[in-house]
């Protein structure tokens, strides 16, 4: 009998077990001797040993903003001069939040907890070439913590962003191969079971300097990635699939002609043969020898090569069919063998044909394959649903610097790419957040998409103002699309420009100080502008009676003031059909001293 090896698959597990047992004895001894300092240190060591061993492990780093928020509470203040009021009779507003996006995300926790439908971000790729700053210093490849600083930076922001998503919300993140692996593990940790797919976007081709690199044996980089995650783990995030143009499917080679209550079915080549203009064009193209019959097996070649064939088939797409699967018939109609009949099952219509064995099969019309593609140059023709390979976006890169009327030297994404991501994953009334807004492409994508499909999506853009990017690029782009400068056609928008400020946590008048800023939070929460809406705000007792209730539907009121209303005042508001809403305590309450 073969001797069984004394083999441990995870020998380190025993080492860990022995270490924990030893630490437990030391902890017990420290408790007995009341050695508090030793006890605290030993418990910390025990915690470190117990820390999970699978997944992404990194050195955690603090940020300057962490220290700021330990002493100060971030607030929003509006730059009134930068308000864009492009849609005069619409009280709905979009928002540009300017400041460290960690501040903005913390404030959005108050106003948009579980309300964001889609988050798209294009964070710094951490290439080492001055694209990523940590604590006001650019990180290069010589920094021993080059990856852990980036991970720490992203982890804080992504954790909050998850809380902002609706239960079925979707997050889309652009990235390249510098941090793809780390970001994938990080997102798997934050969104357990939330991974949907990685979209590969063709952003360049092998040309120019890349040709030499490829000839030297390198595999050149042509694609970037978009990580796709859903909050609740559902995978069918493509609510509205995208389509690419494809070649003709030669199986669509039959043609229906109407006879009484059925159709005769014959090869489409016979039908095309009767059109002399079509046969002459095919002969001129060298696809058919003069005087010869058309081939049914070459219909795909004819369609892709001949404009006249395409016109005829597209025009008669409901009558051009292919064989499909068998179908069970539930009525007692005596269908003739070989004839094609319309058959209704509930609200669905089928085309069916009985064969010599009495089995019914379906006919699928070519019209189900036809439509306008989502390619760089949209075409009408046969389509295929796009998967995780998004080709030809390098074609957009030649014009990307001109999009929106603003230039961004590094990282500007094509408008078509962001618009198609949002077209696929959002519905018409969704809220879209981009907290690495950069050149503002996401804002324009939302507005262009609304214009195309009549939607009412809204956007929130968050960016810092390093190098005046918020003013000179992000905000400038919003002005451009509103005025029509960017595309020679205006897309009127309403936008409020909010900047982050701070209130000292140790202030003796903290609640009063914070109440000065609740207006902007309420406006952000509801996507409104108090000056152009039926909403009003009351924070002081004497404002209750002074407020003109004409054309007012809702009043946001400090809870303490609301409770002080006397019956006469309450009756006045009720008669005016005005709803009183208490301002949330988390907007201004004394408890914010302990916040964060």
* Lookup: tokens for 583: 């301002």
Cβ 408 vs Cβ 438: under 8 Å: yes
CATH class for the region spanning 74-238+393-501: alpha beta
**Run of H or E including 383:** strand 380-385
Strand, coil or helix: 234: coil
The domain spans of the chain are 14-50, 74-238+393-501, 245-372, 534-594
Tens-binned pLDDT, residue by residue, of the chain (596 aa): 555 555 455 555 567 778 888 989 999 998 988 888 888 898 888 887 777 667 788 888 888 888 888 899 999 999 999 999 998 877 799 999 999 999 999 999 999 999 999 999 999 999 888 888 888 888 888 888 899 999 999 999 999 999 999 999 999 999 999 999 999 999 999 999 999 999 999 999 998 889 999 999 999 999 999 999 999 999 999 999 999 999 999 999 999 999 989 999 999 999 999 999 999 999 999 999 998 999 999 999 999 999 999 999 999 999 999 999 999 888 878 899 999 999 998 888 999 999 999 999 999 999 999 999 999 999 999 999 999 999 999 999 988 988 999 988 777 899 999 999 999 999 999 999 999 999 999 999 999 999 999 999 999 999 999 889 999 999 999 999 999 877 767 889 999 999 999 999 999 999 999 999 999 999 999 999 998 889 999 999 999 999 999 999 999 999 999 999 999 999 999 999 999 999 999 998 888 888 76
Residue 536 pairs in a beta bridge with: 555
Would strands 579-582 and 554-557 be described as parallel, antiparallel, or unpaired? parallel
H or E element, residue 544: helix 543-546
**24-53: buried (b, 16+ CB within 10 Å) or exposed (e) per residue?**
eebbeebeeeeeeeebeebeeebeeeeeee
Q: What is the pLDDT of residue 443?
A: 97
- Judged by phi (left if over 0) then psi (alpha if -120 to 50, else beta), residue 41 lies in alpha
Domains 74-238+393-501 and 534-594 share a fold: yes
Q: Is 568 helix (H, G, I), strand (E, B) or coil?
A: helix
pTM: 0.88
CATH number, domain 534-594, options 3.40.50, 2.50.20, 1.10.3470, 3.30.1360: 3.40.50
Phi and psi at 338, nearest 5°, equal 85, -15
State residue 13's pLDDT score: 59
Neighbours of 61 (CB within 10 A): 15
Structure tokens given for 530: 């108090």
CB contact at 8 A, 458 and 443:
no
Q: How many Cα atoms within 13 Å fall on the side-chain side of residue 303?
A: 25
Element (H, E) at 228: strand 223-230
Residue 191: closest CA among 149, 155, 225: 155
Q: Pairing between strand 380-385 and 243-245? A: antiparallel
| Token pair for 338 | 């070989």
């Amino acid at each position: 009998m073969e001797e069984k090896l004394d083999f441990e698959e995870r020998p380190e597990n025993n080492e860990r077990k022995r270490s924990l047992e030893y630490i437990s004895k030391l902890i017990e001894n420290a408790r007995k001797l009341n050695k508090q300092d030793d006890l605290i240190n030993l418990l910390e060591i025990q915690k470190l040993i117990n820390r999970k061993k699978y997944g992404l492990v990194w050195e955690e780093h603090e940020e300057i903003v962490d220290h700021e928020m330990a002493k100060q509470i971030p607030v929003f203040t509006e730059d009134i001069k930068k308000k864009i009021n492009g849609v005069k009779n619409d009280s709905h507003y979009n928002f540009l939040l300017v400041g460290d996006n960690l501040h903005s995300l913390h404030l959005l926790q108050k106003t948009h907890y579980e309300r964001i439908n889609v988050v798209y971000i294009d964070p710094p790729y951490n290439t080492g070439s001055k694209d990523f700053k940590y604590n006001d210093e650019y990180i290069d490849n010589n920094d021993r913590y080059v990856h852990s600083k980036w991970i720490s930076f992203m982890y804080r922001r992504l954790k909050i962003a998850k809380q902002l998503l609706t239960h079925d919300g979707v997050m889309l993140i652009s990235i390249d191969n510098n941090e793809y692996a780390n970001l994938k593990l990080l997102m798997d940790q934050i969104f357990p079971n939330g991974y949907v797919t990685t979209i590969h976007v063709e952003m360049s081709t092998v040309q120019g300097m890349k040709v030499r690199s490829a000839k030297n044996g390198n595999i050149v980089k042509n694609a970037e990635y978009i990580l796709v995650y859903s909050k609740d783990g559902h995978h069918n995030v493509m609510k509205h699939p995208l389509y690419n143009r494809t070649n003709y499917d030669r199986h669509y080679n039959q043609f229906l002609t109407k006879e009484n209550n059925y159709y005769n079915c014959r090869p489409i080549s016979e039908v095309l043969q009767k059109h002399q203009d079509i046969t002459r064009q095919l002969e001129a193209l060298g696809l058919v020898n003069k005087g010869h019959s058309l081939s049914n097996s070459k219909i795909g070649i004819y369609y892709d090569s001949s404009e006249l064939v395409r016109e005829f088939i597209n025009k008669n797409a409901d009558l051009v069919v292919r064989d499909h699967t068998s179908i069970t018939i539930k009525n007692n109609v005596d269908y003739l063998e070989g004839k094609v009949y319309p058959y209704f099952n509930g609200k669905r219509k089928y085309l069916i044909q009985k064969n010599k064995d009495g089995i019914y099969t379906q006919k699928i019309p070519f019209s189900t394959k036809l439509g306008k593609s989502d390619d760089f140059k949209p075409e009408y023709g046969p389509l295929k649903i796009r998967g995780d390979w998004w080709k030809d976006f390098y074609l957009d890169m030649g014009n990307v610097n001109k999009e929106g009327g603003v230039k961004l030297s590094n990282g500007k994404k094509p408008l078509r790419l962001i618009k198609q991501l949002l077209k696929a994953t959002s519905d018409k009334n969704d809220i879209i957040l981009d907290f690495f807004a950069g050149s503002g492409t996401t804002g324009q994508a939302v507005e262009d998409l609304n214009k195309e499909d009549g939607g009412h999506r809204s956007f929130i853009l968050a960016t810092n103002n390093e190098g005046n990017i918020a003013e000179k690029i992000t905000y400038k782009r919003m002005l451009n699309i509103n005025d029509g400068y960017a595309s020679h056609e205006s897309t009127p928008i309403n936008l409020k420009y909010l900047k982050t400020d701070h209130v000292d946590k140790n202030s003796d008048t903290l609640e009063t100080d914070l109440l000065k800023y609740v207006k902007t939070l309420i406006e952000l929460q509801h996507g409104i502008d108090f000056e152009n809406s039926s909403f009003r705000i009351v924070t002081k007792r004497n404002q209750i009676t002074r407020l003109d209730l004409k054309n007012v539907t809702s009043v946001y009121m400090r809870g303490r003031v609301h409770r002080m209303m006397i019956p006469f005042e309450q009756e006045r508001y009720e008669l005016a059909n005005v709803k009183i809403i208490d301002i949330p305590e988390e907007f201004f309450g004394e408890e914010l001293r302990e916040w964060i």
